[in-house]
Chains A and B, each alone.
Chain A
């Protein structure tokens, strides 16, 4: 009975792996067939040599970096304050952070365009609106990652210990709290990075250069290059996850016996 269960477990694991990896392998193999009759990285070369790729990719990198910075500045102090001063509000705040999961991006973007394309806040053309929108979109990931980090430390006692040693709020946040939830912030940052790099609707409808709309445009008139781009974006996401793992390993031990 036990052996049979094990066989089924393996069956489903292999099925899962095949389901996930087969399309990826197929896409990768397809992306190598840009030259007739030989396997080559021609499609990748074409992508990297395309100035539009560089432009859209660097634009998305910039949007992602700014989104992460704004997200950290907004959500770290908020999550810290809620946990320290208004723990009763946690459920309500958590609900608010989940709203981007419920509201479809297309509805969200139309709301933004309608609201900010008329006075008094005529900022529909400004990258500020795009960054603000991305920040909201990445809020569930960033806020929850930070909140999980705060849950792993004794926020109240560490704060009080620092206060009794003469520290003000800024010192407490930057020298005591943030260093101890560094891994969680990085988790949130990389997840936000992956979200922004792959986001299509906001950039498309707010008419800003970005990686996903470029990829979508390419798919309309090319065959192999979009496949190469899909593999590149997968590699990018995996690199982010890998970095989270590597950085996370370093701090685990430090927190384990911390209190």
Chain B
């Protein structure tokens, strides 16, 4: 049995369905991210686990105990907020020890635990400081320590890094992951930043319009998106319409040119229109002549992105992106040149 179970949970506000039939099983020590655009229901789902919202239907179980209707202060769930939410009237030690004081732990135990947590977040010397004396990153680390002080069963993080600048975001997310692993705590992490979700999580739940689009490891989500939304939302993607030519041999026609996929097209018929997705990094130049997955194109644009060079090519009526690693000795084509690009059959994904 999973440690955290979210079973058939829905949330309806008036006429609007914020979360629709959400089902998820999270194992102990696992970090699962909810990824999606604003208004997709990820934060509402998290708030239902925290107890700040009551599900319209369904139930939430932690470690075998149904907590669906338990008040938030009795759930044994720690939460880190986007806005830090440190208590301005308390210093760092006071903030971290707040939950322990409420739990009426002995003074000595509180001091000991606060000290431990200050060490974990690398802020041993900051116990006496007030929130206004800390940077955003430091405040969020204190908020994390505060949420961990009571050793909660589940740690919830609601876009904890979105208020921070890019560099701190990267270092802090590594720190959060390291602390989570070190303590073996079960965690749910809400974010709209795909890079954050992919780099942090054991599994990612991609959400859209209150629905779960796909659940899988970051590798699966990125490489094998199940829906067009996931394919579009996670990473950069070339998405074009194609026509099924021969379902038996998995052949399609992309604006008149033959494309073959490794996926079975058994469920389609010849002439069906489908959406084909190809990641830019799976495309490369070739000189192999006429054969499936070799597409004639024209160079439309070349963009230098540092480690990567992004080339826009026109295949029939579609513009496709092609990413190639930067190399000082790379011979790049010129805009307007005719060229051929190719990709493996596995790189051609048919999405719903």
**In the complex, A109 has a CB within 8 A of chain B:** no
- Give min CB distance, A106 to chain B, whole Å: 43
**Chain A positions within 8 Å of B156 at CB level:** 164
- State the CA gap A180–B86 with chains docked (Å): 11
Contact assessment for A166 and B88 in the assembled complex, using a CB-CB cutoff below 8 Å: no
**In the complex, A162 has a CB within 8 A of chain B:** yes
- State the CA gap A180–B149 with chains docked (Å): 23
Contact assessment for A165 and B98 in the assembled complex, using a CB-CB cutoff below 8 Å: yes
Contact assessment for B88 and A258 in the assembled complex, using a CB-CB cutoff below 8 Å: yes
Select B85's contact among A160, A166, A175, A254, beta carbons within 8 Å.
Answer: A160
Select A161's contact among B81, B134, B149, B150, beta carbons within 8 Å.
Answer: B81
- State the CA gap A256–B133 with chains docked (Å): 10
A153 and B88 in contact (CB under 8 A), knowing A161-B81, A164-B78, A257-B133?
Answer: yes
**In the complex, A255 has a CB within 8 A of chain B:** yes
**Chain B positions within 8 Å of A182 at CB level:** 89
Report the count of interface residues on A (CB-CB < 8 A). 26
- Give min CB distance, A202 to chain B, whole Å: 36
Nearest A residue (CB) for B97: A165
- State the CA gap A254–B156 with chains docked (Å): 27
**Chain A positions within 8 Å of B78 at CB level:** 164-165
**Chain A positions within 8 Å of B85 at CB level:** 154, 157-158, 160-161, 259
Contact assessment for A180 and B89 in the assembled complex, using a CB-CB cutoff below 8 Å: yes
**In the complex, B29 has a CB within 8 A of chain A:** no
- State the CA gap A161–B147 with chains docked (Å): 9
Which residue, of B50, B89, B102, B146, has the highest number of chain A Cβ atoms within 10 A? B89
B83-113 to A contact mask, C-beta < 8 Å, 1/0: 1111111000000001100110000000000
A259 and B147 in contact (CB under 8 A), knowing A161-B81, A164-B50, A168-B73?
Answer: no
Select A157's contact among B51, B71, B81, B130, beta carbons within 8 Å.
Answer: B81
- Give min CB distance, A155 to chain B, whole Å: 11
B127-138 to A contact mask, C-beta < 8 Å, 1/0: 000111110000
Contact assessment for B83 and A163 in the assembled complex, using a CB-CB cutoff below 8 Å: no
A254 and B72 in contact (CB under 8 A), knowing A157-B81, A165-B102?
Answer: no
**In the complex, B77 has a CB within 8 A of chain A:** yes
A257 and B147 in contact (CB under 8 A), knowing A160-B72, A160-B81?
Answer: no
- Give min CB distance, B252 to chain A, whole Å: 50
Q: Chain B interface: which size bin?
A: 20 to 34
Contact assessment for B132 and A158 in the assembled complex, using a CB-CB cutoff below 8 Å: no
**Chain B positions within 8 Å of A258 at CB level:** 86, 88, 131-132
**Chain B positions within 8 Å of A171 at CB level:** 102
**In the complex, A242 has a CB within 8 A of chain B:** no
**In the complex, A176 has a CB within 8 A of chain B:** yes
Contact assessment for B83 and A162 in the assembled complex, using a CB-CB cutoff below 8 Å: no
**Chain A positions within 8 Å of B133 at CB level:** 257
- Give min CB distance, B261 to chain A, whole Å: 47
**Chain B positions within 8 Å of A180 at CB level:** 87-89
Nearest B residue (CB) for A182: B89
Contact assessment for A163 and B89 in the assembled complex, using a CB-CB cutoff below 8 Å: no
Contact assessment for B99 and A165 in the assembled complex, using a CB-CB cutoff below 8 Å: yes
- State the CA gap A212–B78 with chains docked (Å): 55
**In the complex, B325 has a CB within 8 A of chain A:** no
Contact assessment for A166 and B83 in the assembled complex, using a CB-CB cutoff below 8 Å: no
**In the complex, B52 has a CB within 8 A of chain A:** yes
- State the CA gap A161–B78 with chains docked (Å): 9
B143-187 to A contact mask, C-beta < 8 Å, 1/0: 100110110000010000000000000000000000000000000
Select A257's contact among B77, B132, B149, B150, beta carbons within 8 Å.
Answer: B132
Nearest A residue (CB) for B98: A165
Contact assessment for B72 and A163 in the assembled complex, using a CB-CB cutoff below 8 Å: yes
**Chain B positions within 8 Å of A179 at CB level:** 89
**In the complex, B79 has a CB within 8 A of chain A:** yes
A164-189 to B contact mask, C-beta < 8 Å, 1/0: 11111001000110011010000000
- State the CA gap A154–B83 with chains docked (Å): 9
- State the CA gap A255–B98 with chains docked (Å): 18
- State the CA gap A171–B72 with chains docked (Å): 14
Interface hits, B66-82 → A, CB 8 Å: 71-75, 77-79, 81
**In the complex, A253 has a CB within 8 A of chain B:** yes
Nearest B residue (CB) for A172: B73
Contact assessment for B88 and A165 in the assembled complex, using a CB-CB cutoff below 8 Å: no
Interface hits, A242-259 → B, CB 8 Å: 253-259
- Give min CB distance, B32 to chain A, whole Å: 18
- Give min CB distance, A99 to chain B, whole Å: 32
Contact assessment for B87 and A166 in the assembled complex, using a CB-CB cutoff below 8 Å: no
Contact assessment for A176 and B72 in the assembled complex, using a CB-CB cutoff below 8 Å: no
Contact assessment for B102 and A166 in the assembled complex, using a CB-CB cutoff below 8 Å: yes
Select B98's contact among A160, A162, A168, beta carbons within 8 Å.
Answer: A162
- State the CA gap A241–B85 with chains docked (Å): 31
Nearest B residue (CB) for A166: B102
Nearest 6 CB-CB pairs, A to B?
Answer: A257-B132, A258-B88, A165-B99, A161-B85, A179-B89, A164-B79
* 20 A-B pairs in the complex with CB atoms less than 8 angstroms apart: A153-B88, A157-B81, A157-B85, A160-B85, A162-B87, A163-B51, A163-B72, A164-B72, A164-B73, A164-B156, A166-B99, A166-B150, A167-B102, A171-B102, A176-B87, A180-B87, A180-B89, A254-B89, A254-B130, A257-B132
Using a CB–CB cutoff of 8 Å, the interface residues on chain B facing chain A are 50-52, 71-75, 77-79, 81, 83-89, 98-99, 102-103, 130-134, 143, 146-147, 149-150, 156
Q: Please name 17 further chain A to chain B contacts, defined as beta carbons within 8 Å, in addition to the given A164-B156, A166-B99, A179-B89, sorted by A numbering.
A: A157-B83, A161-B86, A165-B146, A166-B74, A166-B103, A167-B99, A168-B73, A171-B102, A176-B89, A180-B87, A180-B89, A256-B132, A257-B133, A257-B134, A258-B88, A259-B83, A259-B131
